Structure 1
Amino acid sequence: MELGIGMFGDLAFDPKTGKYKDAGIKIREILEQVKLMDEVGIDVFAMGEHHRADYAVSSPEMVLAAAASITKNIKLASGVTVLSSSEPVKVYEDFSTLDLISDGRAEIFVGRGSFIESFPLYGYSLNDYDELFDEKLELLLKINSEENVSWSGKLRAPMQNQTVYPRAKNNGKLPIWRAVGGTPQSVLSAAKLGMPLVVAIIGGMPVQFKNLVDFYKQEYLNAGHDASEMQIAIHSHTFVSEDQNVVDGYFHNYKSQMDRIGKSRGWAPYTKMQYDGGRAREGALFIGNPKEVSDKINYIKEIFGITRFVGHMDVGDPNHDIMMKSIELMGDKVAQNVK
């Protein structure tokens, strides 16, 4: 099973100055952290896309390209590319270029995203939310499999025998994963298309998602795809420390980000009881010492039969030194216990 780390580039808010942390500092910290991931043997790094003041990264491709130049082995993925508000030709071109820079290490996680800022920003209507994604996914998959593309849809101009370059290293094909939050229709679509699946589990109890994953497996095989090529990943909030004071203190980072997001979504303030409940064996937070985190990953592996676990590790922008130690422990002690 592969072990990965994901990030959104969260920016801490300073109530004294009324400003968020400098985005340039954060991006340089991320690059230093990815370099360490590569050195300690983490298999995958996934970089998210957001268009808000409290996140540093709106262009994962740029950050991943910079990371490609300072790493050797780690796979570099978007986590996620908000495909509904992106141009599929440009997405393929950017990631095929990244693939060539990194000598075949690029991947794309495509999804609708959990925020909607990119839609008005890029001139798209939320009324077309579902149709935009379905149409653009169809085009992206066609570009990924065919060098000369002819395609037509309703929301984008047609393509007539047009070529898209450069081509990715592996016969022009990039690994394209479908990232979902738990919608059965999205899971069904991924299964029918034979796409690898990433399930984001950030609340409740992971076991509640078992039926969804079993549904994917069933429909994947029903569609005639090769069982040996099936790939399933879980993406959950994660943090590792051998210092219980750091684990307890991380609650404040986590709460600050959850409450910022929650204000626009009508959530109640995040509580310590929720944090501790999430950290329990049956909860969705992989936060604790190396044994607690690795035992929980193994528990999830047993439940779902996953091929990849991606720990989302920068919620609330924890201190850079603490992040570096968490990454080191993830690649050393957690990986040893899991693998």
Structure 2
Amino acid sequence: MTSTYGEHPIVIGVDSFGDMTVGGDGSLLSQPQNIRELVAEGVLAEESSLDFFGLGEHHIEEMPLSAPDLVLAAIAARTSRIHLGSAVTVLSSDDPVRVFQRYATLDALSSGRAEVILGRGSSVESFPLFGFDLADYDRLFEEKLELFARLRAEKPVTWSGTTRAAMPGLQVYPRTAGGSLPTWVGVGGNPASVVRAARHGFSLMLAIIGGNPARFARLSELYREATAQAGLAPLPIGVHSPGHIAATDEQAKEEYWPTYETFMLDARRQRGFPKITREYFEHEVEYGSLYVGSPETVARRVVKTMTALGAGRFDLKYGMGPMPHATLMENIRLFGTEVAPRVREQLRTR
């Protein structure tokens, strides 16, 4: 159902990083089965009237989703309405030309429903895998994003830099159905990244995974100022945050907490995250950026966040660590059929 909030249509979606799932006995399922289940989850997202389904690139055993565009192509063949995209594509360790070609091909297969969210890579396992030096982290993204902006115009590209071969007036194919691939830049809090996205005319996706989301209002305002200074019409702002929905608040928290705790303990060992307690979890659910609860609770909190940031889009990152596929499917169903209608209605009446 299409409705508007501000200058742009309201978009409510879900995305996944391809976290491994477990069977009825609690044992991990195989990676091939896990990937096939993502296709079923994408199909259910459309059946539940959601607007977007995204898959985020990862290259680790716990998240073996290394080629999300292929999985999205399988979903495209079984759907007709929902938009499909990355969440995110790690542009810094990829070739912008190949990224554009893959998602332009997805756009053809889906009859114009593809989009891409580009990121620098908060998870950096792809850098050593593909031979990139983390010392070049900023330069890789800045150069490749500038090239992608030129590719998106779908005209012959003349470009030179230090991160790939030069392009002396080369045309890249295929072209997209609409003449320009919808492109977002995922930002986790860096003001320079916000300004860069605005300068290139890319929509802004705020990745808010902890703390009070209202603190990102300064980035939303900075983005609006930067797009105006670039002479551009207002561009969409979206929010990506984790969460889980069940029939009641207590059920949602009891389903989510065990795997959330495990995931955060692993993140602490690997990336130096702070220690996570149940008290911290409860605080994040009540005041922070974990959208965990009943449909009524989650809808209220989503509306509060979107209003505070002036965002017209909200993507729920479902699943956190090894959860049962059936639980994830119910989460998607409830978010689409119970949460999304409440969000759209409450935003329309504001």
Shorter chain as denominator, the TM-score bin is over 0.9
Can you list the C-alpha shifts for 1:150-207, whole angstroms capped at 9, x where unaligned? 1111221111122211111112x10110101000110111122221000011111111
Mapping of 1:275-286 within 5 angstroms? Answer: 275-280=281-286, 282-286=287-291
Can you list the C-alpha shifts for 1:258-281, whole angstroms capped at 9, x where unaligned? 11122112234321111111110x
SS of the residue 1:264 aligns to: helix
SS of the residue 2:12 aligns to: strand
RMSD of aligned residue pairs (Cα, Å): 1.7
Match of 1:177 in 2: 184
Are 1:40 and 1:328, in contact at CA under 8 Å, matched by a contact in 2? yes
One-letter amino acid of the structure 2 residue matched with residue 327 of structure 1: I
SS of the residue 1:103 aligns to: coil
Structure 1 residues 126 and 20, CA, compared in 2 at 3 Å: closer, same or farther?
farther
Distance in 2, matches of 1:336 and 1:29, equals 25
Match of 1:318 in 2: 323
1:221 is the counterpart of 2:221: no
Structure 1 position 246, deviation (Å): 4.2
Structure 1 portions without partners, runs of 5+? none
2:92 to 72, 84, 87: 84
Distance in 2, matches of 1:299 and 1:71, equals 31
Aligned residues: 333
TM-score, normalised to structure 2, is 0.91
Are 2:246 and 2:252, in contact at CA under 8 Å, matched by a contact in 1? yes
Match of 2:310 in 1: 305
Distance in 2, matches of 1:161 and 1:245, equals 57
Match of 1:31 in 2: 39
Structure 1 position 138, deviation (Å): 1.1
Structure 1 position 12, deviation (Å): 5.1
Distance in 2, matches of 1:189 and 1:268, equals 30
Match of 1:257 in 2: 263
Are 2:298 and 2:339, in contact at CA under 8 Å, matched by a contact in 1? yes
SS of the residue 1:234 aligns to: strand
Structure 2 portions without partners, runs of 5+? 1-9, 345-350
Match of 1:189 in 2: 196
Match of 2:245 in 1: 240
Structure 1 residues 322 and 12, CA, compared in 2 at 3 Å: closer, same or farther?
closer
Are 1:12 and 1:54, in contact at CA under 8 Å, matched by a contact in 2? no
1:290 is the counterpart of 2:295: yes
Are 1:108 and 1:176, in contact at CA under 8 Å, matched by a contact in 2? yes
Identical columns (%): 38
SS of the residue 2:323 aligns to: coil
Distance in 2, matches of 1:293 and 1:64, equals 27
Structure 1 position 304, deviation (Å): 1.1
Can you list the C-alpha shifts for 1:6-31, whole angstroms capped at 9, x where unaligned? 100112589x99x8541111111111
TM-score, normalised to structure 1, is 0.94
Match of 2:348 in 1: none
Q: Which runs of 4+ in 1 moved over 4 A?
A: none
Match of 2:19 in 1: 10
